[in-house]
Structures are given as structure tokens and as C-alpha cells.
Structure 1
Amino acid sequence: MAAPLIQDWELTAAIKDLADWLVQQGLENAPVETWLEAFCKRLVSAGIPLQRANITVRAHHPEIGTVAFRWHRDGGNEREDFVRRTDAPEQYILSPIYYLLANNIEEIRQDLTVEDPELSFPIFDELRERGATDYFAVKRFFLIQDNAMPVDPMQAEEGAIISLTTDASGGFTSQQLDGLRQLISPLCLTLKCGANRLMAEDITAAYLGKDASRRVLSGDITRGSSETISAVIWYFDLQGFTKLSEALPGDSIIELLNDYFAEAVDVVERNGGNVLKFMGDGMLAIFDINQVTDARRVAIHAAAELRDTFDELNQRRQADGLPTTGFTLSLHAGDVLYGNIGGRSRLDFTVVGPAVNTTARILGMCSALDQNIVVSDKVAGESVSSIPSLVSLGQYRLRGVAERQELFTID
């Protein structure tokens, strides 16, 4: 149902109020999902017969390239994430978004009711089926003044593509389009505030881990600030990496690391753990005992899952003629200091303490004991009777560790 027609001065006042409201949403750092539906409904109430809105922004995420937020008058909100890729899929090439980015134009408008339209994209056919009569879209850069400038659609600048459709007879009026254009700047300001927060969350989560990211963004950034937590510590290392790095070209080494680390990270995070850092061909992670139910047992099952995952990955890589490798993994549990450590201007959010050092020593025992997984009694002790695959390897003295350690493996 189209919005009611109202007087020009009422529309002008409504646009002004809506612009102020948008700025307030940006100041409050409200997510797009929160304010988009209210914004669109306010537009309809202001006399602009909006049927659909689509906002596309660039993402700062290792796997997600762009994010689209959509509102449908009859269907509410939806979000779609587009995978980061180097090639352009046909659906994207044949879209008005690609056209806007690639050409020296700032906006496009197309009457969807004419028989021979100047612009034709597959999405227009879908919109016509839903009763749309008019399509209006603009591109806005956040860091570039010339919004008409063409850019590489696969390396889009920071900004937004905003498209709006109506199903009103005759489409948008000139006054309605003028009102929409007045709202673009405050809308982009609100988007930029949300995009900056989303960028911070994505980047810190990618480089620090989800839990450390949450802590840092909540203000836990003082050097030396930390808390003592009880955790299962996971120390992982790829086998034979030195020889592989000497025999393989650099790009093959990076591909190999990414392939194996991807599986290791997935296993840890799927089981509730947090990956803290990568160290060359190694990885440090924790399972917080106070946050992961039965964390010791979970970490043991995750270790067994990792072994099966690596077997499957090695079969795939071998079938593709790619080099393969294995891993060593140590599990230990204890109290650790979890927080910010480092220099005045360069910090690391990690864990330290005797339990971490002991875990590293246990990792060194993998080679001596000819096992790829070695688990300390602090992790295996309570589970030995209920996990038959846990097998004792005996008691050992570890360098720099006062107490003898009974070590186990997973048969």
C-alpha cells in the first residue's frame, strides 16, 4: 500500500526530523539491523511510498567481502553476507551495483514500467514481479569527495550503495527524490559509524580472537591489565615445517599454512575454545574452564577430532598432488594470567604463567614419546576412566617444571 499524499511543507519538515533522527542513531552507534526498519517506516509515514531498500557496504572480514542490508515493506529486514573473492560472479557483473561502481556516475534512476528501459538488469525483473514501478540508487564514498568517480568493483572504496524502490503509480515524484537525496548524507554518516564499529569488531576478532576482541573493545586495553582464569591450554605445532619451508616456494608455504590452520581453528572454535595467537607454524588456544562446560573433556575430544580432520585433509591434498604434513599437540590445565602484555604502544592479549610454560614443555615431549598428541594428568586425570582411548605414557620430569608429570595420549 502506497503512502498517503501530504503537503510539501510537511514532507520538508519530516525529512528534517528524519535527518536529525539518523544522526542520533549514528551517535548511539546503533547497528544497521536496528535502525533500518524504523528509518524505512518513517519514510513511508513521511509520504514517500517506499517498497524496498537495499544498503550494501564493504566488510573488513577475512572471508566476507560485502554485506547487504535489506528492508521490504511486506517482509521486514534481512542481511546477506557475500564471500570475499577475486573473481566477479555473473550475478554481480549484471547488477546495478557493479554498474554504479564501474561508471562515472553518482546515481541511477529507472522507470520500471516502460517497455524499452534505458537500463536493464535481472534484478529489475524481480522487482517488477513484486509490483515495483521505480528504482533509484546512489553511490557514496566515505573517504573520496568525487562520488561519481569510477572504481574497481572488486576493490571498492569504503562507502555505500543505497537503492530504493517504490510501487506507487508514476514512481517517485521529483519532490520525493529531492527529499531522499537530502537524507543520503546523514544516512551515510550513520552507516559510517556502524561500519567503523563493525570494522573494529571484525578486525580485532580476526587478529585477537573473539573473546579477546570483546574484551578489548569493551575497554580492557591498559598495559598490564589481566585476570586469573582457569583454562585448558592447547599448544599446537605443524610437523616437519622447517624442511617443508626449505623445499617449497613461498606461496606454497602460505597456502599450506592457511589450509592446515583453517582446520585447526575451526576445530577449536567449534568446541568453544579461543585461538589466541599464531607463532610461525604453531598455534596457542585456550578453553576457559568457567565458560566451557566440562572443558577438559571437550578439549580431549577436540584433539581427537583434529586428528581425524587432518587425516581427511591430507587425503584431499595428496589426491591434488599437494604436500602434506601432520601435527603435534599438547594439552595442559591450570591457572593463567589472561590480559594485555607488551610495550607501551604494542600490546598482545594472551595468557602467561607456569601452566603455559609447562604446556610448551609437554609439546616438546611429543617427539621423544613418538606421539602426536600428549595430554597432562591435569587434563586427563578426571577423564581416564570414562574415555577408554586415553592411555598413560608414564611419569616424566620436564625441564624447568618442579613436579613430575604423568602424560597421556589418545589411542
Structure 2
Amino acid sequence: MIIPRANISESLIERVSHWLQQSALGGSDLEGLVHGLCERLAAAGIPLLRVHLSFSMLHPLYDALGFTWIKGKGVSVEGFRPTGSDGEKDRFLRSPYFYLLSNGLPHLRRRIDPMTSSEFGIFDDLKEMGGTDYLAFVESFGEDTTRGMVGSWTTDAAGGFGDEVIDALLHIQNDLAVAAKMAVLSKLADNMVTTYLGGNAGQRVLSGQVRRGDGETIRAALVMGDMRQSTVLAEKSGRQVYIDTLNVFFDAIAAPFNKNGGEILSFMGDGFLAVYPCDRHREPSEVATQAAMAAVREANARMAELNADRKQNRLGEIRYGIGLHVGNVMYGNVGLKDRLTFSAFGGAVNEVQRLQGLTKTLGQTVIASQAFATYCGGDWVTLGEKRLRGVEEKVTVLMPSESNMTMSGIELAESNGHDVRSEAEHVMLLYRNTRQQKPTLPGPNFLQ
């Protein structure tokens, strides 16, 4: 029995190709590019069930971005961080993408038969979805084969992919690679600026605030955090141990302040400054300080977990101090004409730094100004009036009570999220690492 396959209009495919070209010139982002392409291909008569595209790209935090389009459900986006268990890595090494990359193949096509065993793990999922045919591919962005795109097309058509459909998809892949490379380069600029400057500051710079003196005065809740005895650690443990310790410290303590309206504005040695911008009214100040305090609770819990792990591994405890304040700060570009930094500065920044310093002399982990505690609400313990260096009048300082440092059920649930990683994203990193380290590749039986 001959199963009929879809007839594809070359005119409609050319329209999709033209749209890709215009999208590249117009600066479309990757998500819009993938979503628009998949929907247009489906509308042009390509019988697509699932499309997966992953782009390996230079990013300080992520090694790849993955996009999965499913018929009737749209696009989901995943960012891959370079971590994973040995079991995960073994599974990815047996994936179709890694098979392509390790064997230097541009394409891999397999019919999906529910009555036969799956050659690759992803086929089990595709069988449940009703997939009948699968075409994977690799498109590099130039001479560096570890920078580019891997992806797959899956259909649920009874006859699978016909030759016309495959020809159309191969044609589209070339145009997609060009448009995707343009989008990746655009995303790269955004990634670099926002990663090194922060989201808000990065967007200000990208929007044109690049001259010395550009900026404004804003009101914000301020958080200053610092690691204790880092100098001793650096001298005793050496450079790499010190850097690794700083990174796990920042992962634990600083990450909570980079969400829910907060932003890590700068890292200063073994400390950091976070801001929660707000309007000059009571309600926005309350929202900002309460968000900052929720982050303090999460940071405290994460540090307790980190220190418990370090104790099990016979490593020393990492101690820290956090200062909290609210006030007006100047926010913008300062420095040399040809070497600028985007930061917050002014009296309120100096005061939160002094408050953080008081945690050492008062033997407390968290200290706040009266202004911060008043706007934030909750239970606080007054530690008295203290003189801050550079501040004429004494200020009342407080510490949060035990109940004020206890996370709510909602805060606990929000802090327990996990990254979702796609198979292709793992593969792109593993392949790049494999190329760099040049280990012996697994044999054919291991890949089946």
C-alpha cells in the first residue's frame, strides 16, 4: 500500500525563506525567529509535529539556548548551564545530536516505528507523541564547528517525510542558519552587557546611556553583602581555591538579590551591591524593602545549606555580613572618557557600606537602618544608636528578629526551582569539551 505524502508549494516555501531573510535584517530575537519559522512552515503545508533547535553561543553563564516547538503548543525556551551528573552525560552521549557531531555528519534520518526498539532515547518520547519520521541536522556558524546550531524535525504524517518535504527543510535550514547567526550575535551583545552590568543597567547602556555623566538620581532599597576573612583565605588557600570559594559564596548569597525587582549592580572584591529601585512614595518603598528582606531570608538559608555541605567535606565555614538601607542614589556612568563603569553612588551607598561594616563590630549577620526597618515592617531588635564614618549624626541600627529571618511557605517554594535543560544543550557543551580534551569516543554499541 502506498501512503500519500504532502505536496509542498515551492512558492510558499520561498515566502518563508524571504521572511527569514527579512527577520535577520530586522534584528529578530531567537525566540521570535523560531516561533515564526515553525508556524509559517506548518501553515505552508509542512507536516511538523515537533521542532527542536539549539544554539551554542558565547555567554558568561550559559553555553547554549534551546527552543522546542510542538504543534498546537508553541515554543518553550531553555537555557543550559554547564553542569550535570555523570548519568545525564552518559544519556546525552547516546543522543542523535552527539552521534552526528562525533561522526562529522550533517544529517541523520530515522523512521520512528512504535513496534521496534528505540535507537536513541528521544525516540521513546516521540513515539508517545505519535511521531513517524525524524530528521536531525548540524549547521555550523563558520569555521568553528562548536559554534552553531543543532536541531531536529519530527513529523506525525502517516507516510513520514517525503522527498519534497526534506528538500524544503534542507533549503530552509541554510536560511535559518544565517538568520540565527545574526540573532545570536545580537543576543551575544545583550548577554554580555546584562551579565556584566546587570539587567537594568545593561538595558540602559544598550539604549544609549554610554557617555560619561549619563544617569539619574533614583530611590532604592540597598543591600551590601561581604564575605568575612577572605584575605586570610586567599593567603592560606591559594588563588584557585579562593576564586572557587568566592563563586560558591556568590551563588549562595547574592543570587536571591538578582530577582523580584532586585539587581546585583556590582561585585567589589568579596562583596556585592544590590539595588531595588522604587518611587519616592511609601508604598513603593515598602514593596522594595520587603522584596530585599525576602532575599535576605533566602540568602541566609542558602548560606546555611552551603556551610552544612562544607562541614561534611571538612571545609571551613564561610561567614558573611549584610547591610540594609533605603535612600536616594545617583545611578549612571562614571570614570574615564574611554573607560566607564555603570554603578550607584552617593551618600546612601556609603551609608549601607558602613552598616555592613557594623556587622563585624556588633557580631551580627544582618544590620539595617531605621529607615529600612520602618518601610519593611516585621519584627526587629534595636541595637542602639551608632556613628557611621562620614555621617554627622548617629543612626539607629537594628537586626531582624528570629521570626523575621524565617522563610514563609511561598518563599520556600520559590527558592526550590530547578533549571530545565534540553538534550541538545547538554550535547553542544559535551561536544565542545570533547573536542578540547580529545578523549576516546565511545564505540557504536555504546551509542545505540
- Report the TM-score, using the length of structure 2 for normalisation: 0.77
2: distance between equivalents of 1:114 and 1:269? 46
Candidates 165, 177, 188, aligned match of 2:177: 188
Q: Which moved more, 1:166-175 or 1:108-117?
A: 108-117
Read off the aligned partner of 2:229 and give its amino acid letter: G
Candidates 281, 288, 294, aligned match of 1:295: 288
Local SS of the residue matching 1:50: coil
Q: Which residue of 2 aligns with 1:399?
A: 389
Q: Which residue of 2 aligns with 1:104?
A: 104
Mapping of 1:359-378 within 5 angstroms?
359-378=352-371
1:165 aligned to 2:165? no
Q: Which moved more, 1:291-300 or 1:264-273?
A: 291-300
- The offset of 1:227, in angstroms, is 0.7
Contact 2:258–2:274 at 8 Å: present in 1 too?
A: no
Give the count of matched residue pairs.
Answer: 393
2: distance between equivalents of 1:17 and 1:96? 30
- The offset of 1:93, in angstroms, is 1.0
Structure with more contact order per residue of length (Cα contacts < 8 Å, sep ≥ 6): 2
Candidates 330, 333, 340, aligned match of 2:333: 340
Q: Which residue of 1 aligns with 2:195?
A: 206
Read off the aligned partner of 1:387 and give its amino acid letter: G
Mapping of 1:11-410 within 5 angstroms?
11-61=9-59, 63-85=61-83, 89-112=89-112, 120-144=119-143, 157-270=146-259, 272-290=261-279, 293-300=286-293, 302-303=295-296, 305-381=298-374, 386-396=377-387, 398-410=388-400
- The offset of 1:292, in angstroms, is 6.1
Local SS of the residue matching 1:272: coil
Local SS of the residue matching 1:89: helix
Contact 1:65–1:85 at 8 Å: present in 2 too?
A: no
Local SS of the residue matching 2:63: strand
Contact 1:332–1:355 at 8 Å: present in 2 too?
A: yes
> How has the CA–CA distance of structure 1 residues 2 and 270 changed in structure 2, closer, same or farther, with 3 Å as cutoff?
farther
Contact 1:142–1:159 at 8 Å: present in 2 too?
A: yes
Contact 1:53–1:71 at 8 Å: present in 2 too?
A: yes
Greater C-alpha radius of gyration: 1
Q: Which residue of 1 aligns with 2:7?
A: 5
2: distance between equivalents of 1:3 and 1:217? 48
1: distance between equivalents of 2:337 and 2:191? 24
- The offset of 1:2, in angstroms, is 8.5
- The offset of 1:193, in angstroms, is 2.7
> How has the CA–CA distance of structure 1 residues 202 and 229 changed in structure 2, closer, same or farther, with 3 Å as cutoff?
same
Contact 1:3–1:45 at 8 Å: present in 2 too?
A: no
2: distance between equivalents of 1:250 and 1:201? 30
- Report the TM-score, using the length of structure 1 for normalisation: 0.84
- The offset of 1:211, in angstroms, is 1.8
Instruction: Among all aligned residue pairs of Structure 1 and Structure 2, give the percentage whose two residues are the same amino acid.
Output: 32
Read off the aligned partner of 2:177 and give its amino acid letter: C
Read off the aligned partner of 1:379 and give its amino acid letter: F
- The offset of 1:111, in angstroms, is 3.6
Contact 2:264–2:273 at 8 Å: present in 1 too?
A: yes
1: distance between equivalents of 2:288 and 2:36? 42
Q: Which residue of 2 aligns with 1:154?
A: none
1: distance between equivalents of 2:237 and 2:4? 64
- The offset of 1:128, in angstroms, is 4.2
Q: Which moved more, 1:130-139 or 1:181-190?
A: 130-139
Q: Which has the higher helix share?
A: 2
2: distance between equivalents of 1:115 and 1:315? 50
2: distance between equivalents of 1:41 and 1:3? 20
- The offset of 1:140, in angstroms, is 0.9
RMSD over equivalenced CA pairs, Å: 3.1
What stretches of structure 2 of length at least 5 have no aligned partner? 402-448
| Deviation string, structure 1 residues 259-292 (Cα, Å, up to 9, x no partner) | 2211222332355321111111111111223266
- The offset of 1:238, in angstroms, is 0.9
2: distance between equivalents of 1:19 and 1:388? 62
Q: Which moved more, 1:195-204 or 1:242-251?
A: 195-204
> How has the CA–CA distance of structure 1 residues 335 and 173 changed in structure 2, closer, same or farther, with 3 Å as cutoff?
same
2: distance between equivalents of 1:68 and 1:2? 33
| Deviation string, structure 1 residues 85-131 (Cα, Å, up to 9, x no partner) | 276612211111111111222222234459999x9323234434544
> How has the CA–CA distance of structure 1 residues 169 and 256 changed in structure 2, closer, same or farther, with 3 Å as cutoff?
same
Read off the aligned partner of 1:91 and give its amino acid letter: R
- The offset of 1:62, in angstroms, is 5.0
Read off the aligned partner of 1:140 and give its amino acid letter: E
Read off the aligned partner of 1:368 and give its amino acid letter: T
